[in-house]
Structure 1
Amino acid sequence: MSSSLPVAASSRRAAGKRPALLQPLLDAPVWFVLAIVLLTSLLGLRFYREPQLAIGKRIGYTLLAPKTMDVEDRLETEKARLDARRNAVQIYSLDPQIEAQVHDSLDDLLTEGDQIFATAGSLPYIDTGILASEAQRYLRAMPQATWLQIKQLIGSPTPPAQLSGLTPIERQIFGNLNKNRAGNSDGFAALIERIERARLAYGQAIARLRTAPLVYQDRLLDLSPDQWKQVTQQVQLVTRRLLAMGVIPGLPQPLRESGVMAQLPTSFNVLQRRLATDLVLSVLTPNLKVDRLESFQQAERTAENVPTVRLHIQKGQVLLKKGEMITPRWFDILDRLQLTQRGVNWLELLLLVAIEAVAFAAFLIIDRRLGKACLCRRDYLLTLVIALFTSGIGVIIGDSWGWGGFLPFIAAGLWLGNFYGSKRGSLALLALAVPFWYGLKIPFTIFLPVFIGGLVAALLVGRLRSREEMAFLGVFAAAVQGAVYALLTVVFSNGFEWGELFVHTLEMAGGGLVCSIVALGASPYLERLFDVITSVRLSELANPNRPLLKRLATEAPGTFQHTLFVANLAEAAAQCLGDNADLVRAGTLYHDIGKMVRPRYFIENQMGLPNPHLQLDDPWRSAAIIRDHVTDGLKLARRYGLPQVIQNFIPEHQGTIQIAYFHHQACELVGSDNIREEDFRYPGPIPQSRETGLVMLADACEAALRSLKDVTEGEAVAMVQRILAARWREGQLKDSGLKEEELPQIARIFVKVWKEQNHQRIRYPSASPKTPEYQVARR
């Protein structure tokens, strides 16, 4: 299926003309010259005042200062300001959310410690007159085997050899308990029971401590309850102080530890200090975040305060010696001194003009040889606008190729491919790309990705039929643009960082995506402004919910049904012949809209009602009413903003054929010699494109095909061929591009569609079981 614009363009020229090789240039000299002038004005900007003493060149003589003056050293100034920005103090702000999270985490952690102490039980758990507090702490943590040994020895004759295996504190515990048993034998059992309960609670606390946070394990219960209480109070106080002062991200661990310990009281023992420090550090999180806006503003203020670096140059001072290379810094200084010898580079400028001329001439010549149609003036104008837009963005970007992803080749590819078809769109994009690259001297790794992204868009967009598909194609083309950039960078770059490559790849893909969004948003406006027909627009125009088609279906239902059948016939023929079926269908749906003005004057809308032509009894008036449905249709088409190529179907489908019925009536009334032929003919023009020619043939055959009953396929084809041959003999198709040898094929297609829409249906039996049809159906 051919693209829409070439078909639209074919409706503007007669068929059968074979242009010579240079004929395209002769047909469009104004556009050819205008394109070269305008694009040279944009792409050749750098050649108008090109310096002879450019960066990277070696000077052939010793360059002396022509006068005494102070010159701003902009590169050194910018370097100093850049250093000032980098070294500017960052501005931090407190994050209250992090502060709340730290307090919550600390509360949970301290609650866990309190619960472990509560499980272990209080100290002392027996009278300190029996055992001191330290001895009680040791007793509850004593190994079970040692405790059982001590219990066996209490109250029994104790040889010194059995006590030698105990530690001093264990012997002390044994002596005190043994002494208590001897002095208070009645309460000794209760004393042992309290000790057992304390040991059991301590064992449960130890078990819980094994699953507690690591900061507690193996040392929490070494503190006394009073010591733990002091630790919790100081941990909360120190945490609040540090958060109030602000914790900077990235602070080294030794500095954080020393900061916490400096806040602790000197009365803490080593274990208390270590545990308190670890508790604070385990929950402490940096609560200062960089305030990007304030830091940026501070950096800019710092940079603004850097004084301008100026060079004092004396007249006759040696600026550059012979053979020295011109660096960017010295080029800027020489340029401010007007010593770079700027002027028009006529050689480069003429070479750019030659490249443009060859590229555009090749485009025009190949465009003529692509097939059915070439571009018209409006198409040249739109193509030039797209080329100027693309070139203008390239000039604006200038040497800032970090923004190269925003070169709108994807947008140009989507527009050109959608408006002119994939072949012409790709060809136009290539014709633009060559002078674009030469004029702007874009780095290879930047130009090739954006060009390939645009080429992918131009090649694939011609197959699409909806805006949604175009949107997804834009995403795909942007991804291709980013991927090609990454591949070229990896292959051709001497050194790169993967992080920077990832960021730049995203920038390239993001720039392509922005360009595709711009193309998608601007497409409807360009289509309307330049009256461009695309497949997407044709699909929208063929939607039966369009206001004009809904009016046609409501106000002239018979005409609407006639239109649908004609559209089916013509569309099938267009598909088989390789013409634009989308254009044929859309144009056919609107070809008879003028009948809405006086619907009852057309037989398909009378529906058994009286024929108003009988009341007129005037063939001249009746013929004028029938003929006026063309002019009425054009008025409606303009009012509803239909494209010109769709409007062409309204007069061209009738051409200049005769309104035969009323012409015959008039001849019977006054004789054929007294009749003006133009009173009974449509005004024309005859079909100017294959598409409108197919609609004329389908319209002529529609009524005849509907009237056929009980005929063979061969008879139907023969009848249709006679109708088509009559139109050919009348000369109605001579400018359409259709060929006489195609008429038999068109006739067969029409009959095939007619057969498909008028196939024989099953005759359903009567509901009564006694009828023969019912019995046959049962068998």
Structure 2
Amino acid sequence: MLSFFKKALKKFNITEANFYRIQKSQRYIWVIVIFIILSGIVSIDFLPNRVNLQVGQVTKSDIVAPKTVEYIDEESTEKLRQEAENKVSKVYEEDTGILTKVKADVRQFFDTIKNIKSSDVELEKKVKSVQDNYKIDLSSQQLSYLFSLSEENIDFLEEDTLMFLVKYLNRGVKDNYLNNVKDQLSQDAIELTEDRQYNQLVSKISRHFIRPNLIFNFEETEKRKEEARQNIEPIKRTFSKGEIIIRHGKVVTHDDIKILKNLGLTQPKINYINILGHILIVLIFVLIPSIYISQYHREVLEGEGILALLGLLPIMTILLAKVATYFPLEYPSFVVPVAAASIMIAILVDTDLAVVFTIALSFLVGIVTGGRIIDVMVAIVSGLTGIYSVSKLSQRSDLVRAGFIVGGATSLTIFTFMLTMVNLDLIIFLNAFWGILNGVLVAIVTNGLLPYVENIFGITSPVKLLELSNPNHPLLKRLLVDAPGTYHHSIIVGNLAEAAADQVGADSLLARVSAYYHDIGKIKRSYFFTENQIGSENPHNKLSPSLSTLIITSHVKDGVELAKEYKLPQVIIDVIEQHHGTSLVSFFYQEAVHDEKYKSVDEGDFRYDGPKPQTKEAGLIMLSDMVEAAVRSNVAAQSNPGKLEKFVRELIKKKLDSGELDECNLTLKDLDKVANSFVNILKGIFHNRIEYPDNIAQQFKEGKKLNDSLNK
């Protein structure tokens, strides 16, 4: 799996460092998301009290202002401001350079006309030259007329054109009114002289060269609009307490609804200071467990399923507390099953972490349900009781027992707090009943949700492991029947791994249960493995070394398939897949190397596919598996404690030197503890026994008779 991710990262050009940074940022994002959701649940009132009135309805009673309120009529104020804004004219600024540029262009045009007119070329070429150089809207006939004018008349034409352009540009020409100006200019030019063709030339040349010289000033316009808006005073409306807002029998109008909204009668008025206070409280109680995890349980950050669970459990609990507040209960916190979340975290993650979570969660539940000290204390007591009641969990029925313990402790806490009330009443003591109901809810929720939580979040609880360790499990029974030697080997490996796990701080229960199932793949071809070949011929004698290696190594793949078929947890499947790592099947490799039939032998063909052990538990099972098998076949080591310890340490060192333990976090100090643990267990298994004589019973009887006679 690790190699697969490395290849994937390389394919998408992502370094491993960047990948882990991405994962780290995702954890921060998840914490922020949890904080936002919890803040929303705590701060927002999902079912506020409302006056259910709509426009057009008739009120059935007088609606009175609950308090004196002065507010700004935003809608009316905005309407007046919009009107003032619309009255502001757009601001334009004159570009004085436009007139100068237009004059220069016109003079250049007429200079060109004069030069072309004085040239010795045909009229058609003169016309074409103008049309090519100036995309002016003049026909060939009009250009011919232009060239027919005397130089003096051309000067008059230039002056008239400039006169019109100066006249209109001095007035100012806006971009959006340019076409209107051109049309007006054409009308004025028609009456300039009696010569119609001359007037058309003035009109078309002027239309061609005129351009806008008033530039729209957006910033100044917006500034004046804003000043106009600011000059409008807000329209304020005031309603005194007790004033009738809508009288009985009146048809509700849009203005009435607007008034009700401002009075907070259709929806609660938002108290931003209160919301900020709740958000800060949530922030505190989100940061406390987050900092605790980062300081003392960093391994939790590596499990996505655990992080998701630690986020969703508080959200679900606070949501239940919020829902409870909408029921007609004086103390809604009494029925919130805080202990259910506490028990799940204690079982699936860690007991100490569950304590921290319970305290933070209890305060949030108290804030949601009323903010009283009794709400917080009842939640804390029920949660802590739940945690300690599952400290020695051995089966799922213990969860029911834990629920009853939680119910009793919660009821006692409620009863104790009720005794401190000033006005004692029999009905007050009935609140203790809610504590018993809380315990029942805890038992139901934990028993019902725990299996689903394990599957959804990929977390294996000790209860699940204890169930898997039962010899009556179908897969273990198959192993006992089909591969009895492997079964007994797995039991010893489990004992070795469990003892070693206790020494190095690993999960001893997980190590033992995983060891029971690590070789289940041998069920399919049990007779190919020496521990199951009791008094029968070894089938490998008739096979090639490469084929024998393929059969031996395939038990890992077969084991994974069987584990998935029987729905074993992923942590156990990982151990099955990793317990041989990439080890070399040395016997068949050496056989192939020394066999003359094989000219070249690839060592990679005689290795397991891996991956190498990724956890301490997988590494311990690899070592336990190797040591148990090797010591069982070494008679000399079995009979001599000194040789046994030396042999075990050599085996562990060989596995360490081969690099198989590089990825499982076992230190050299851990390996020394593991070796000592293995030796102690193996000494007990292979201890020397007294050889009793065959006639021991007869000797025992004779000795008894001799003692009787002496006593007489």
Shorter-chain TM band: 0.5 to 0.7
| Alignment counterpart, residue 661 of structure 2, candidates 733, 738, 762 | 733
Supply the distance in 2 between the matched residues of 1:735 and 1:392 (Cα, whole angstroms).
Answer: 42
Tell me what 1:665 maps to.
591
Change (3 A) 1:379 1:670: farther
* Residues 155-180 of structure 1: CA deviation (Å, up to 9, x unaligned): xxxxxxxxxxxxxxxxxxxxxxxxxx
| Contact 2:321-2:368 within 8 A present in 1 as well | no
Change (3 A) 1:405 1:675: same
Q: Unaligned 5+ residue runs, structure 1?
A: 1-21, 52-66, 75-314, 322-332
| Contact 2:399-2:446 within 8 A present in 1 as well | no
Tell me what 1:291 maps to.
none
Residue 713 (structure 1) shift: 1.7
Residue 759 (structure 1) shift: 2.9
Change (3 A) 1:504 1:660: same
Q: TM-score, normalised by structure 2?
A: 0.63
| Contact 1:446-1:485 within 8 A present in 2 as well | no
Tell me what 1:517 maps to.
444
| Alignment counterpart, residue 379 of structure 2, candidates 447, 450, 462 | 450
| Alignment counterpart, residue 692 of structure 2, candidates 754, 760, 764 | 764
Change (3 A) 1:605 1:405: same
Residue 770 (structure 1) shift: 8.4
Tell me what 2:548 maps to.
622
Tell me what 1:79 maps to.
none
| Alignment counterpart, residue 405 of structure 1, candidates 314, 334, 338 | 334
The AA in structure 2 aligned to 1:750 is F
Change (3 A) 1:39 1:50: farther
- Aligned pairs (5 A) from 1:195-274: none
2:537 pairs with 1:613 = no
The AA in structure 2 aligned to 1:635 is E
2:575 pairs with 1:585 = no
2:437 pairs with 1:438 = no
Tell me what 1:33 maps to.
32
Secondary structure of 1:28 counterpart: helix
Tell me what 2:318 maps to.
391
Supply the distance in 1 between the matched residues of 2:345 and 2:431 (Cα, whole angstroms).
Answer: 28
Q: TM-score, normalised by structure 1?
A: 0.58
- Aligned pairs (5 A) from 1:569-580: 569-580=496-507
* Residues 97-119 of structure 1: CA deviation (Å, up to 9, x unaligned): xxxxxxxxxxxxxxxxxxxxxxx
The AA in structure 1 aligned to 2:477 is K
Supply the distance in 2 between the matched residues of 1:68 and 1:717 (Cα, whole angstroms).
Answer: 95
Supply the distance in 1 between the matched residues of 2:422 and 2:23 (Cα, whole angstroms).
Answer: 47
Residue 440 (structure 1) shift: 4.6
Change (3 A) 1:466 1:771: closer
Residue 343 (structure 1) shift: 4.2
Residue 670 (structure 1) shift: 6.3
Tell me what 2:571 maps to.
645
Change (3 A) 1:358 1:677: farther
Tell me what 2:521 maps to.
594
Change (3 A) 1:664 1:777: farther
Change (3 A) 1:585 1:768: closer
Supply the distance in 1 between the matched residues of 2:675 and 2:23 (Cα, whole angstroms).
Answer: 36
Residue 459 (structure 1) shift: 3.9
Residue 457 (structure 1) shift: 1.1
Residue 513 (structure 1) shift: 2.5
Supply the distance in 2 between the matched residues of 1:512 and 1:444 (Cα, whole angstroms).
Answer: 20
Supply the distance in 2 between the matched residues of 1:751 and 1:460 (Cα, whole angstroms).
Answer: 36
The AA in structure 2 aligned to 1:438 is I
| Contact 1:47-1:346 within 8 A present in 2 as well | no
| Contact 2:584-2:606 within 8 A present in 1 as well | yes
* Residues 690-709 of structure 1: CA deviation (Å, up to 9, x unaligned): 11111111111002222334
Deviates more, 1:643-652 or 1:359-368: 359-368
Tell me what 2:642 maps to.
714
Supply the distance in 2 between the matched residues of 1:642 and 1:757 (Cα, whole angstroms).
Answer: 30
The AA in structure 2 aligned to 1:490 is L
Deviates more, 1:22-31 or 1:471-480: 22-31
- Aligned pairs (5 A) from 1:679-758: 679-706=605-632, 707-709=634-636, 711-758=639-686
Tell me what 1:70 maps to.
60
Residue 725 (structure 1) shift: 0.7
Supply the distance in 2 between the matched residues of 1:769 and 1:427 (Cα, whole angstroms).
Answer: 65
* Residues 373-401 of structure 1: CA deviation (Å, up to 9, x unaligned): 22411112222332222122112112544
2:409 pairs with 1:483 = no
Supply the distance in 1 between the matched residues of 2:341 and 2:257 (Cα, whole angstroms).
Answer: 39
Change (3 A) 1:655 1:70: same
Tell me what 1:633 maps to.
559
CA RMSD of aligned residues (A): 3.7
The AA in structure 1 aligned to 2:529 is F
Deviates more, 1:603-612 or 1:467-476: 467-476
Supply the distance in 1 between the matched residues of 2:240 and 2:628 (Cα, whole angstroms).
Answer: 93
Deviates more, 1:468-477 or 1:594-603: 468-477
Q: Unaligned 5+ residue runs, structure 2?
A: 1-20, 51-56, 65-236, 244-255, 708-712
Change (3 A) 1:614 1:345: farther
Q: How many residues align?
A: 493
| Alignment counterpart, residue 567 of structure 1, candidates 487, 494, 511 | 494
| Contact 2:492-2:628 within 8 A present in 1 as well | yes
| Contact 1:765-1:777 within 8 A present in 2 as well | no
Supply the distance in 1 between the matched residues of 2:468 and 2:642 (Cα, whole angstroms).
Answer: 36
Residue 25 (structure 1) shift: 6.4
Change (3 A) 1:773 1:749: farther
Tell me what 1:42 maps to.
41
The AA in structure 1 aligned to 2:493 is V
Tell me what 1:495 maps to.
423
2:414 pairs with 1:474 = no
The AA in structure 1 aligned to 2:464 is R
| Contact 2:639-2:686 within 8 A present in 1 as well | no
Residue 751 (structure 1) shift: 1.6
* Residues 14-48 of structure 1: CA deviation (Å, up to 9, x unaligned): xxxxxxxx999646123212212322332222299
Residue 652 (structure 1) shift: 1.6
Residue 772 (structure 1) shift: 12
Residue 647 (structure 1) shift: 1.0
Supply the distance in 1 between the matched residues of 2:23 and 2:357 (Cα, whole angstroms).
Answer: 15
* Residues 309-342 of structure 1: CA deviation (Å, up to 9, x unaligned): xxxxxx9996438xxxxxxxxxxx9999442273
* Residues 254-313 of structure 1: CA deviation (Å, up to 9, x unaligned): xxxxxxxxxxxxxxxxxxxxxxxxxxxxxxxxxxxxxxxxxxxxxxxxxxxxxxxxxxxx
2:285 pairs with 1:359 = yes
Residue 598 (structure 1) shift: 1.0
The AA in structure 2 aligned to 1:764 is Y
Secondary structure of 1:71 counterpart: coil
Change (3 A) 1:43 1:606: same
The AA in structure 2 aligned to 1:700 is M
Change (3 A) 1:518 1:772: closer
Supply the distance in 1 between the matched residues of 2:608 and 2:696 (Cα, whole angstroms).
Answer: 56
Change (3 A) 1:679 1:359: farther
| Contact 1:595-1:629 within 8 A present in 2 as well | yes
Residue 518 (structure 1) shift: 2.1
Tell me what 1:340 maps to.
264
Secondary structure of 1:374 counterpart: helix
Supply the distance in 2 between the matched residues of 1:382 and 1:770 (Cα, whole angstroms).
Answer: 69
| Contact 1:425-1:459 within 8 A present in 2 as well | no
The AA in structure 2 aligned to 1:550 is K
| Contact 1:352-1:439 within 8 A present in 2 as well | no
